Amino acid sequence: MIWNKEAECMSREDKESLQLERLKEIVSTAYKKVPYYQERFKKAGIRPEDIQSLGDLEKLPFTTKTDLRDAYPFGMFAVPEEDILEVHTSSGTTGKPTVSGYTKKDLEIWGEVMARALNMALAEKSDRIQNCYGYGLFTGGLGVHYGSQQLGATVIPISAGNTQRQVEILQDFKTSVITCTPSYALYLGEVLEKQGVDIKDLNLKSGVFGAEMWTEEMRDEIEKRLGLLALNIYGLTEIIGPGVAQECPEKNGLHIFEDHFYPEIINPKTREILGEGEKGELVLTTLTREGMPIIRFRTKDITALRYDKCSCGRTLVRMDRITGRTDDMLKIRGVIVFPSQIERALLKIEGLDPHYQIIVTRPHHLDELEVQVEASPILFSDEVKHVEEVKKMIEKRINSEIGLRVNVTLVEPESLPRSEGKAVRVIDKRNFD
Amino acid sequence: MKLKQISIFLENKKGRLKKAIHVLSQSKINIRALSIADTSEFGILRLIVPEVEKARAILEKNQFVVKVNDVIAVEVPDKPGGLDSILDILHQADINVEYIYAFVEKKTDNAIVVIRTENIEEGLKTLKKANANVLSSEEVYNL
Ligand SMILES: [Zn+2]
């Protein structure tokens, strides 16, 4: 199922010429309409006319989350405010959020790329899409909503939360496609199991899961618990929202809709551009955005690009599942650790629910890593020595995954935060001054 | 006769022991014997109650991790060396005792202890063969 064959199966040659044409235009618009860009370009000694090939993009300065925050609220808009039809925000951990403004055309493009994404994940006109992403300033809810409408499917705009109601609707409306965060999908599966709902009585065929990092093991677990095909979606509010990239049923990476979003991978430290298959920070440039052109945005997401042909027929470049964030990346005793590695180790243990929290401390000038894991009947015993063996076994599994000694603490079930948005997995208590 | 024991995982956090005992008392579950194994990171609360399945259901509903397993209840002569004589039986037969704790109530003048041997079947056989007074569930619950 390919929603827009012309765009999604275009030859590399045609695509590159389209990308170049659009890049020249957006760079020139950004320069003319947004003082921030004009100032930056001038400082770097670049004029829009200097962009004559896709490779010339390298000459342009990066845009960071901080730059966008400094322009709060509407400083990045490239059109008169009256032409902005909708705004969304992306929350940061510190300070003001960043604002994203959409013109009529931007909303159409958003709907288009989301329709492509949903269709890639097997959703069609005849489907009922239960959209459990939050509606509001967060882009998840409305992004899926606009995509469903362009697709012509029936959208169930239930939004996030109220799990009991979600379960009822799943059963009563015979929902065929579900969209939510992967951690909420797992939680929903747990609730279904607890309430004795047989997944065979549900009508789910696929799920579009994103807005947080997840793993292949989590995918297996979600597919087993919900009885569907679980596919990964990627996007960010600064660029447009969900719909920047979507995984096809081949499960070999996420196709980036590169006729609208131009990807690069850089070394986050040296900022040099990396080649195909090399892991680094994803940098995105919007090629068609009217309301708020974004040039070379540093996403902080770590991935790699793959240009070989996908068996699904699409020629769109693929990005690997996000394996970490440049700022999520924990450096513990000099070793780089991603929470996803710990999660991978935990998911391999039978009878363990993948709910965990990582706590980093530095009690005596040396980093200590504690992983809190919820106890479960399979892991528990009446004997202290047995429970301690289980604890040691988990420590050993994590140790072999990350190469660091950790201290595992068993906590009571449901005592760790279950997030309906992004899960809070890491608490870093180290004092870095 | 084997006796059912219910064990509850307790996180080292204020109020968890009280909460476990409280939900049981709310459901009018009578605790006949109890012990707590305490480590620096977690605790295990072990209980003997007449309505094991009911207690398990209530605890699970309140998000406790629970395990039910078998233990042995033995009467101990209320005189110096009483417990020693029981333990000696097991020791002679080379049977490992994991833990042991006493009942709150007494039957006649003798004390009752709960014993968890590594292998319950063997522990039970050995005690019976040595004529120790192993109590049935009914006897324990009717104390
Ligand atoms: Zn594909």
Name the more confident of B56 and B108.
Answer: B56
* CB nearest A382 (choices: B10, B16, B67): B67
User: How close is the Cα of A230 to the center of ligand 1, in Å?
Assistant: 14
Tell me whether residues B5 and A382 touch, CB distance under 8 A: yes
Tell me whether residues A381 and B65 touch, CB distance under 8 A: no
Q: Is the dihedral of CA A396, A397, A403, A409 positive or negative?
A: negative
Burial A215-248 (b: 16+ CB within 10 A, else e): bebbbebbbebbbbbbbbbbbbbbbbbbbbbbbb
**Residue B63: how many CB atoms within 10 A of its CB?**
12
pLDDT in tens, A20-33: 999 999 999 999 99
Average pLDDT over residues A253-258: 98
**Separation of alpha carbons A233 and A248, rounded Å:** 10
* B107: enclosing H helix or E strand: none
**Separation of alpha carbons A24 and A43, rounded Å:** 19
- Chain A hits for B61, Cβ within 8 Å: none
B60 close to A413: Cβ distance less than 8 angstroms? no
How does DSSP classify residue B12?
Answer: S
Phi and psi, residue A165, nearest 5°: -70, -40
Question: Rounded mean pLDDT of chain A?
Answer: 92
Q: Please identify every residue whose CB atom is under 5 Å from ligand 1, which is an ion.
A: A 248, 250, 310, 312, 314
Q: Which ipTM value was assigned to this complex?
A: 0.89
* CA distances, B99 to each of A304, A411, B71 (Å): 55, 23, 10
State which amino acid sits at residue A351: G
- Chain B hits for A395, Cβ within 8 Å: none
> CB of A411 within 8 Å of any CB in chain B?
yes
* CB nearest A382 (choices: B10, B39, B44): B44
Residue B66: strand pairing partners: B8
Q: Which of B3, B7, B8, B41 to substitute to test the interface with A, most A CBs within 10 Å?
A: B41
pLDDT in tens, A264-288: 999 888 899 999 999 899 999 999 9
Closest CA to A177 of A125, A129, A115: A129
Average pLDDT over residues B12-18: 87
* CB nearest A412 (choices: B46, B65, B67): B65
**Separation of alpha carbons B32 and B54, rounded Å:** 15
Task: Give the confidence band of A377 by pLDDT, cuts at 50, 70, 90.
Answer: confident
Strands A356-361 and A426-428, bridge-based pairing: parallel
Residues of A numbered 367-406 whose beta carbons fall under 8 angstroms of chain B's beta carbons: which are they?
Answer: 375-377, 379-385, 387-388, 391
Residue B26, SS3 per DSSP: helix
How does DSSP classify residue B42?
Answer: E
User: How close is the Cα of A1 to the center of ligand 1, in Å?
Assistant: 10
Q: Which of B6, B7, B8, B9 to substitute to test the interface with A, most A CBs within 10 Å?
A: B9
Tell me whether residues A380 and B65 touch, CB distance under 8 A: yes
User: How close is the Cα of A9 to the center of ligand 1, in Å?
Assistant: 10
Task: Give the confidence band of A422 by pLDDT, cuts at 50, 70, 90.
Answer: very low
Residue A99: strand pairing partners: A89
Name the more confident of A282 and A330.
Answer: A282
- Chain A hits for B5, Cβ within 8 Å: 382
Average pLDDT over residues A161-170: 95
- Here the contacts of B17-21 (C-beta below 8 Å, separation 24 or greater) are B17/B43, B17/B45, B19/B62, B20/B45, B20/B59, B20/B62, B20/B64
Tell me whether residues A380 and B7 touch, CB distance under 8 A: yes
Task: Give the confidence band of A421 by pLDDT, cuts at 50, 70, 90.
Answer: very low
Tell me whether residues A383 and B98 touch, CB distance under 8 A: yes
Closest CA to A215 of A191, A186, A241: A186
User: How close is the Cα of A401 to the center of ligand 1, in Å?
Assistant: 29
Tell me whether residues A413 and B63 touch, CB distance under 8 A: yes
Closest CA to A89 of A74, A108, A107: A74
Residue B104: its pLDDT value, please?
Answer: 73
User: How close is the Cα of A309 to the center of ligand 1, in Å?
Assistant: 8
Q: Which two tokens stand for residue B140?
A: 């324990």
Task: Give the confidence band of A433 by pLDDT, cuts at 50, 70, 90.
Answer: very low
Closest CA to B66 of A192, A378, A351: A378
Task: Kindly list the strands in the beta sheet with A318-319, ordered across the sheet, starting from the edge strand earlier in the chain.
Answer: A154-156, A128-131, A177-180, A206-209, A229-236, A241-247, A254-256, A318-319, A305-306
Report the percentage of chain A scoring pLDDT > 90.
Answer: 77
Tell me whether residues B66 and A377 touch, CB distance under 8 A: yes
- pTM of this structure: 0.66
Tell me whether residues A412 and B99 touch, CB distance under 8 A: no
Question: SS3 letters for chain A?
Answer: CCCCHHHHCCCHHHHHHHHHHHHHHHHHHHHHHCHHHHHHHHHCCCCHHHCCCHHHHHHCCCECHHHHHHCCCCCCCCCCHHHCCEEEEECCCCCCCEEEEECHHHHHHHHHHHHHHHHHCCCCCCCEEEECCCCCCCHHHHHHHHHHHHHCCEEECCCCCCHHHHHHHHHHCCCCEEEECHHHHHHHHHHHHHCCCCHHHCCCCEEEECCCCCCHHHHHHHHHHHCCEEEEEEEECCCCEEEEEEECCCCCCEEECCCCEEEEEECCCCCCECCCCCCEEEEEEECCCCCCCCCCEEEEEEECEECCCCCCCCCCCEECCCCEECCCCEEECCEEECHHHHHHHHHCCCCCCCCEEEEEECCCCCCEEEEEEECCCCCCCCCHHHHHHHHHHHHHHHHHHHCCCCEEEEECCCCCCCCCCCCCCEEECCCCC
- Chain A hits for B63, Cβ within 8 Å: 412-415
Count A/B contacts: CB-CB distance under 8 Å.
Answer: 57
Chain B: give the shortest CA distance to residue A361, in Å. 17
- Chain B hits for A406, Cβ within 8 Å: none
